[in-house]
Amino acid sequence: MTETHPAATNERGFLAPSGNGLFGWIFSTDHKRIGLLYMYAILTFFLVGVVLGLLIRLELIAPGETIVSAQTYNALFTLHGVIMIFLFIIPGIPAIFGNIFLPIHIGANDVAFPRLNLLSWWLYIGGAMLALASLFGGAGFPDTGWTFYVPFSIQTHTNVTLAAFAVFILGFSSILTGLNFITTVHRLRATGVTWGRLPLFVWTLYSTAWVQVLATPILGITLALILLERVLGAGLFDPAKGGDPILYQHLFWIYSHPAVYIMILPGMGIISEIIPVFARKHIFGYWAMALSGIAIAFAGSLVWAHHMFVSGLSDTAIFVFSLLTFVVAIPSAIKVFNWTATLYKGSIALDPPMLHALSFILLFSVGGLTGLVLGAAATNVPVHDTHFVVGHFHYTMFGGTGFAFFAGLHFWLPKIFGRMYNRKVATAAWAAMLVGFNTLYSSMMVVGLRGMPRRYYDYLPQFTTLNVTATAGSWVLGAGIFVMFANLFWGSLRGAPAGSNPWGGRTLEWTLSSPPPAENFPSPPVVVHGPYIYPEEPTP
Ligand code: HEM
Ligand SMILES: [Cu+2]
């Protein structure tokens, strides 16, 4: 520690200038600083992704070519998908809130491998830069969709090679974060932090970390094979050379379906932190919550071929994968029931974090239930590759994980920056987002049910009304997102002091000053009870 400005250092905690300017940030091994670095990078990509989404919707405001050509449209949805999946929703919650709060939640002063943590951030930035670079080579922007399906991805002259390599690098970032979190939870829990006293957010990050470590290498290998195909013409996926295009789909979804749970589990963890605080009640069914996360991670790894019901699978395979898909619904439903049971007879405060958390339950349930329509082989076939699917996955990923992420921002930014945003503006932005979101994606689901296929810049005239409604919804949603970020940004710089515990939370971060001190806990904490004990309530 240096001797300069002890008072200022205390007040600004880990945000206090370290004297090294920018280098004090981009080479810092402090888990909170790394979390913030991730936050600025990830939010920037998210906003770019939103703008691309709005452009896609603008093109679809009328049939025929409206603002972009067919080829540009293909590039738009590919970039939108790659950015949203690999740069926003997969890393988002673990890299930002996991990094900042996992060590604090278990009473540790940092993650197990701080330098590996910094390397993960650099790999993320490196991967993102390569993805940007892929815009400038070959015959232009990648146009395969975010799934890089063969044979098209091996044949197209657009710059798929660099884009696939970028995602390969991003995979390493994800693996290293997972490794770090697993070791941290096993090795660095403070005295008294038993497995039964872990906050549920930690449990979900822990389950997620195992999926990250076990499944991401498969994506790495799959993308490496695409590179082999493109660069050396290896022929693994090319029937003319004895290869099999369906093999690619299996390999891709063996990672990418579990990745759906990498996206959603940490979001569920945030909701499990927020609901008890704003209902002032102990979480209902702690162990069911903790173990259902593990069950989701496990069962979710066995269902990948439900993306391939129309690819010519055997009837037996279709039956098994359909059945397994329904099995995943059980632990997911346990979570929804337990949140609802926690709310029951609670003393509910509708502050901005809670509004987003409640929206999560609604939107994620819509996403989950429409997922069952897709998981049943019979109903899957007519809606396969339509806008129904696009509506469904936006409900789960955006309505689910996205809203959980926004809930987390409203819940924790006052802790991270020590300042409170304007709550009325936050509520107004939330209302606009909820209305815009449902207008947009429910219209997309309906138009999909009527047969409009996804990934086309054009459509039949009878789909016009629903598409206009969807595009109008996207403007309301976009405006809400913009106001939300402006308010959060303003609040983090200029907002009124938030105090150490604005919401009355009971997990360890609320015992620290806001912003938390650089070294977290001046002396190691000793924990004597679980995380959700409220004084107002008789102890269960
Ligand atoms: C204002 C926000 C957004 C708008 C207006 C929007 C709009 C759209 C539309 C219209 C499509 C379908 C394009 C087509 O199939 O022709 C699409 C695809 C997609 N969106 Fe979004 N979206 C938004 C936010 C998000 C978010 C937050 C995520 C992820 C968390 C996401 C992930 C995806 C993915 C993965 C695809 C599939 C791309 C592909 O087919 O390769 N979007 N989006
Ligand atoms: Cu899936």
pLDDT in tens, 446-459: 999 999 999 999 99
In this structure, which residue's CA is closest to atom 35 in ligand 1?
81
Choose among 210, 212, 335, 215: nearest CA to 270: 335
Query: Is the torsion defined by CA of 308, 314, 315, 317 positive or negative?
Result: negative
In this structure, which residue's CA is closest to atom 22 in ligand 1?
53
The predicted structure's pLDDT at residue 8: 40
**CA 413 – CA 488 distance, rounded (Å):** 8
- What's the CA-to-centroid distance between 311 and ligand 2, angstroms? 15
The predicted structure's pLDDT at residue 537: 67
Ligand having the closest approach to the CA of 70: 1
Residue of 87, 394, 475 best suited for mutating to test ligand 1, as the one with most atoms within 8 Å of CB: 394
pLDDT grade, residue 10 (50/70/90)? Answer: low
- What's the CA-to-centroid distance between 255 and ligand 2, angstroms? 10
- What's the CA-to-centroid distance between 205 and ligand 2, angstroms? 20
The residues near 217 (Cβ < 8 Å, ≥ 6 apart) are 171, 175
pLDDT at 361 over 60: yes
Ligand having the closest approach to the CA of 90: 1
- The b-or-e profile of 143-165 (16+ CB within 10 A means b, else e) is bbbbbbbbeebbebebbbbbbbb
**CA 385 – CA 120 distance, rounded (Å):** 34
pLDDT at 514 over 80: yes
Ligand having the closest approach to the CA of 143: 1
- Give the number of the atom of ligand 1 that is nearest the alpha carbon of residue 54: 5
- Give the number of the atom of ligand 1 that is nearest the alpha carbon of residue 77: 38
- What's the CA-to-centroid distance between 307 and ligand 2, angstroms? 6
pLDDT grade, residue 20 (50/70/90)? Answer: confident
Choose among 368, 375, 372: nearest CA to 321: 375
In this structure, which residue's CA is closest to atom 2 in ligand 1?
50
Phi, psi of 213 (to 5 degrees): -70, -40
pLDDT at 40 over 60: yes
Share of the chain above pLDDT 90, in %: 86
- What's the CA-to-centroid distance between 159 and ligand 2, angstroms? 27
Query: Residue 496 forms beta bridges with which residues?
Result: 420
Q: Which helix (H) or strand (E) holds 305?
A: none
- Give the number of the atom of ligand 1 that is nearest the alpha carbon of residue 477: 1
Q: Which helix (H) or strand (E) holds 320?
A: helix 315-343
pLDDT at 2 over 70: no
In this structure, which residue's CA is closest to atom 27 in ligand 1?
398
pLDDT at 241 over 60: yes
Ligand having the closest approach to the CA of 77: 1
Choose among 33, 15, 213, 19: nearest CA to 118: 33
- Whole-model pTM: value is 0.95
- What's the CA-to-centroid distance between 77 and ligand 1, angstroms? 7
The predicted structure's pLDDT at residue 5: 37
The predicted structure's pLDDT at residue 49: 97
In this structure, which residue's CA is closest to atom 31 in ligand 1?
84
**CA 138 – CA 141 distance, rounded (Å):** 8
| Residue ranges lining ligand 1, Cβ < 6 Å | 50, 53-54, 56-57, 77-78, 80-81, 84-85, 88-89, 145-146, 390, 394, 397-398, 402, 454-455, 474, 477-478
Residue of 43, 167, 390 best suited for mutating to test ligand 1, as the one with most atoms within 8 Å of CB: 390
Ligand having the closest approach to the CA of 147: 1
- What's the CA-to-centroid distance between 146 and ligand 1, angstroms? 10
The predicted structure's pLDDT at residue 139: 78
User: Angle at the Cα of 448 (from 443 to 453), degrees rounded to 5?
Assistant: 130
Residue of 398, 457, 468 best suited for mutating to test ligand 1, as the one with most atoms within 8 Å of CB: 398
Ligand having the closest approach to the CA of 300: 2
In this structure, which residue's CA is closest to atom 41 in ligand 1?
145
- What's the CA-to-centroid distance between 326 and ligand 2, angstroms? 11
Separation in Å, CA 336 to CA 282, 283, 325, 394: 15, 12, 17, 18
- Give the number of the atom of ligand 1 that is nearest the alpha carbon of residue 444: 10
In this structure, which residue's CA is closest to atom 8 in ligand 1?
53
Mean pLDDT of 254-282: 94
pLDDT at 472 over 70: yes
The predicted structure's pLDDT at residue 7: 40
Query: pLDDT per residue over 288-324, tens digit each?
Result: 999 999 999 899 999 999 999 999 999 999 999 999 9
- Give the number of the atom of ligand 1 that is nearest the alpha carbon of residue 60: 10
In this structure, which residue's CA is closest to atom 28 in ligand 1?
84
pLDDT at 6 over 80: no
pLDDT grade, residue 501 (50/70/90)? Answer: very high
The predicted structure's pLDDT at residue 9: 45
- What's the CA-to-centroid distance between 23 and ligand 2, angstroms? 41
Query: Is the torsion defined by CA of 203, 207, 213, 216 positive or negative?
Result: negative
- What's the CA-to-centroid distance between 297 and ligand 2, angstroms? 12
The pLDDT mean for the chain works out to 93
Choose among 33, 179, 38, 194: nearest CA to 107: 194
Mean pLDDT of 393-403: 97
The predicted structure's pLDDT at residue 3: 34
In this structure, which residue's CA is closest to atom 20 in ligand 1?
81
The amino acid that residue 196 corresponds to is: G
- What's the CA-to-centroid distance between 381 and ligand 1, angstroms? 21
**CA 338 – CA 291 distance, rounded (Å):** 13
By three-state DSSP, how is residue 512 classified?
coil
- What's the CA-to-centroid distance between 271 and ligand 1, angstroms? 23
